[in-house]
Copies of this chain bind each other. A is one copy, B any other.
Amino acid sequence: MPAEVSSASPASPPLTERQEARRRRILHASAQLASRGGFDAVQMREVAESSQVALGTLYRYFPSKVHLLVATMQDQLEHMHGTLRKKPPQGESAAERVAETLMRAFRALQREPHLADAMVRALTFADRSVSPEVDQVSRQTTVIILDAMGLENPTPEQLSAVRVIEHTWHSALITWLSGRASIAQVKIDIETVCRLIDLTSPETHE
């Protein structure tokens, strides 16, 4: 039986069990170090040591620190998506549900602010060489938001609104992480941008 985990990359060569285990150890070490001290605390030598892997091997699995942290984020996002699925948001309107979902995610990040710092900084600092991975994170986020909206076939307009919501989400996180915006401020920004959803979903229109 092929242990197909439909998680990430398209057609990467299948990993042996030991390789899968290595990959897991690395991601775990990365998240642990990140939780402790954020982006700067994730030092490649330390990640290698913590996960009992040679530095060269670490770089074979993740070609840069940013790749590693983005992969860490993919990992965490899957987790979160699972959690959110179990308790779907309760709001009346789509806008309310999306805002509630994002605020829930935000509270989760607040519990591990250093980890959030590492992941989000990596995400926005990533250059073109990490585009595929960053794009994957973006798609995953889109799925979460569309889930919250409860839409099967979003219109192009609604997809634009979702894109803008994602932009706001990332950027608001950055301002919070760098101490330039309060938690309350982020909440307001999220609620503000979510109003766009009402704009793009015409009331009674069947």
Contacts and interface: CB of A to CB of B under 8 A. Distances in A.
A177 to B, nearest CB: 8
A196 B188 CA distance: 14
A135 B192 contact: no
Given A125-B125, A170-B171, A163 B189 contact: yes
A121 B125 contact: yes
A131 interface: yes
A138 B172 CA distance: 13
A163 B179 contact: no
A147 B130 CA distance: 37
A179 B121 contact: no
Interface size class for chain A?
Answer: 35 or more
A178 interface: yes
Number of copies: 2
A180 B124 contact: no
Nearest to A196: B196
B189 A160 contact: yes
Interface string A106-148: 0000000000000001001111101100110010000000000
A134 B178 CA distance: 10
A164 interface: yes
Contacts of A167: 167-168, 170-172, 175, 189, 193
Given A164-B189, A192-B196, A179 B128 contact: yes
Contacts of A170: 167, 171
Given A130-B178, A160-B192, 12 more contacts: A121-B124, A125-B125, A128-B179, A131-B178, A134-B178, A160-B189, A164-B189, A167-B167, A168-B168, A168-B171, A170-B171, A193-B193
